């Protein structure tokens, strides 16, 4: 078997593009050796993607490197949530228990992971919880395996993008958005004071051909998604203040050209995320206009220096590899036994002893973990009870009366008033002007001195339609009840 090189290769594979960032391990940062991209498309149903992967791996000698790969955000489900714990084992259990609430699949079909984004003074944590269907992971491993590649680890593009972008954040900006133009998709992150607040991934069928014939339609589509995501972040933010600056990165396109094109479509400042290149050394000319922050962040994670790291390689794969490694060692021991029976007998006996000791150690670890699992399940039940213990100082009729006093006499009607004891109130209605909806939301918040429940009134959506040649706005306003401890609900 050929000896592996010391280089690290970060591979991204889709039917739109194949990319690899080759780096040299460095204590200072990321030492770039080479960056290459091969563009498709390769329809997955005809086997052309596997053929392209084989040729790509062969051309760049990837089988000689330590290979790490990336799952894009649009192929995973990710949520930024708060958990009432800062213990990694407890958070892992909570993410696993919550997985079926994020996606409509049974838990045994899912791979879960997480990254702790921040720790709060009250003992809770803000966490990036990630859920991926096993079929996505298996298809990814099969594609790389067709080229003879076995990644040491699979990272999520979201955590890799954050790790690279937060090495050197843009100065003088409290809140900014990161937009990554990935092969086959688009990823948007909103970051405030170095902590992510909002994350979204969108699959896009078009290539990022900046400067091509379809540039205008592609840029308009990207701008629409970015604008909608920024609006959603602003609505969901408790401060009500969104990102005023947008920074562009990409492993598959000219990020600087994309930033210039998007600046004409967006209503805020748009610039390439060049601050993400801080700390890079080596052959930077090979980047050729791209700003591959996702690959750079994965290279940091591969060297154990990623600020946020989400690992998606299933435990079963790691155990199988460990088992194959153990089997290879046993074969070598058997060969030694054939050459020197006496010496091999001693080695074999020692191996049996170590195996028994290791099994005993594993059993002890399993016994130590069982109380933690029970504790996690108990804490989840406690959480469910806490969610039901919402303050009830006012009756539903009083709350309805309090809201009615702020609804305009003309230009607005309420179609549904939904009251849920365990969560809050939802108003569904129609108005002739969007300003009336915004004012109603603001007035309800201002009335929190009389009705504390109104403090978290938020506009969830608004949609304009034509009725008899007039603009009519359908809207939805929710009022989330605070719990007894005054904690914010999970995002």
Examine the domain organization and report whether 382 and 415 are in the same domain: no
Q: Cβ contacts of residue 226 below 8 Å, gap of 6+? A: 177, 179, 186, 188, 246, 262, 266
In 303-430, alpha helices (H): 315-339, 341-388, 396-404
* Within-domain flag for 372: yes
Domain membership of residue 26 (yes or no) is no
Confidence of residue 352 (pLDDT cuts 50, 70, 90): confident
Determine the 3-state secondary structure of 441 from DSSP. Answer: helix
Same domain, 375 and 403: no
Closest CA to 223 of 189, 158, 268: 268
Residue 100 lies in a domain: yes
Within a domain: 110: yes
Whole-angstrom Cα distance, residue 476 to residue 459?
6
pLDDT for res 57 = 95
Q: Is 84 helix (H, G, I), strand (E, B) or coil?
A: coil
Residue 199 bridge partners (DSSP): 189
Domain membership flag for residue 316 = no
pLDDT digits (tens, 9 = 90+) for 400-421: 888 888 898 888 989 888 888 7
Same domain, 199 and 276: yes
Nearest CA to 251 among 301, 155, 179?
179
CATH number of the domain enclosing 298: 3.30.420.40
**Domain range enclosing 166:** 70-302
Structural domains in the chain (count): 3
pTM over 0.75: no
Q: In this structure, are 227 and 116 located in the same domain?
A: yes
Q: How confident is the model at residue 3 (pLDDT cuts 50, 70, 90)?
A: low
Angle at alpha carbon of residue 366, lines to 364 and 370, rounded to 5°: 120
Tell me, yes or no, whether 272 and 414 share the same domain: no
Same domain, residue pair 120 and 169: yes
Res 471 pLDDT > 80: yes
Sign, Cα dihedral of 190, 191, 196, 201: positive
CATH number at residue 416: 3.30.1360.100
Do 336 and 373 belong to one domain? Answer: yes
Residue 285 belongs to a domain? yes
**In a shared domain, residues 340 and 419:** no
Domain final position from 302, 317, 337: 302
> Does 251 map to a domain?
yes
Q: Is residue 446 part of a domain?
A: yes
From 347, 372, 388, give the residue that closes a domain.
Answer: 388
CA atoms within 13 A on the CB side of 72: 26
Average pLDDT over residues 256-282: 86
């Amino acid at each position: 078997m050929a000896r592996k090189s010391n280089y690290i290769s970060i591979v991204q594979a889709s039917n739109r593009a194949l990319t690899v960032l080759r780096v040299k391990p460095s204590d200072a940062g990321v030492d770039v050796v080479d960056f290459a991209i091969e563009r498709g498309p390769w329809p997955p149903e005809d086997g052309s993607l596997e053929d392209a992967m084989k040729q790509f791996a062969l051309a760049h000698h990837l089988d000689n490197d330590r290979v790490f790969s990336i799952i894009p955000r649009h192929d995973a489900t990710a949520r930024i949530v708060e958990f009432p714990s800062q213990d990694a084992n407890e958070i892992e259990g909570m993410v696993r228990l919550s997985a079926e609430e994020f996606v409509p699949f049974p838990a045994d079909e899912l791979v879960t992971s997480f990254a702790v984004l921040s720790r709060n003074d009250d003992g809770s944590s803000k966490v990036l919880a990630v859920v991926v269907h096993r079929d996505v992971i298996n298809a990814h491993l099969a594609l790389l395996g067709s080229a003879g590649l076995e990644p040491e680890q699979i990272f999520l593009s979201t955590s890799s993008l954050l790790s690279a972008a937060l090495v050197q954040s843009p100065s003088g900006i409290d809140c900014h958005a990161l937009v990554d133009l990935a092969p086959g998709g688009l990823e948007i992150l909103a970051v405030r004071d170095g902590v992510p607040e909002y994350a979204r991934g969108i699959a896009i069928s078009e290539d990022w051909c900046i400067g091509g014939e379809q540039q205008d339609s592609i840029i308009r589509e990207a701008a629409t998604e970015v604008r909608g995501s920024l609006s959603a972040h602003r609505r969901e933010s408790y401060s009500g203040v969104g990102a005023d600056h947008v920074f562009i990165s990409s492993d598959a396109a000219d990020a600087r050209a994309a930033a210039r094109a998007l600046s004409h479509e967006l209503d805020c400042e748009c610039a390439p995320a060049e601050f993400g290149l801080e700390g890079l050394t080596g052959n930077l000319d090979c980047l050729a206009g791209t700003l591959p922050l996702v690959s750079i962040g994965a290279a940091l994670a591969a060297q154990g220096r990623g600020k946020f790291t989400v690992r998606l390689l299933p435990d079963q794969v790691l155990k199988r590899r460990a088992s194959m490694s153990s089997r290879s060692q046993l074969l070598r021991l058997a060969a030694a036994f054939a050459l020197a029976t006496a010496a091999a007998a001693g080695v074999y006996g020692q191996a049996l002893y170590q195996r028994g000791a290791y099994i005993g150690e594993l059993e002890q670890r399993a016994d130590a973990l069982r109380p933690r699992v029970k504790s996690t399940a108990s804490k989840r039940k406690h959480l469910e009870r806490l969610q039901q213990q919402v303050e009830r100082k006012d009756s539903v009729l009083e709350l309805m009366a309090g809201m009615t006093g702020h609804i305009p006499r003309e230009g607005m009607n309420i179609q549904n008033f939904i009251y849920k004891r365990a969560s809050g109130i939802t108003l569904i209605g129609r108005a002739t002007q969007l300003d009336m909806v915004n004012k109603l939301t603001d007035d309800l918040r201002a009335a929190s001195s009389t009705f504390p429940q109104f403090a978290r009134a938020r506009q969830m959506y608004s949609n304009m339609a034509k009725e008899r040649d007039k603009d009519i706005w359908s809207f939805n306003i929710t009022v989330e009840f605070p719990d007894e401890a005054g904690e914010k609900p999970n995002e």
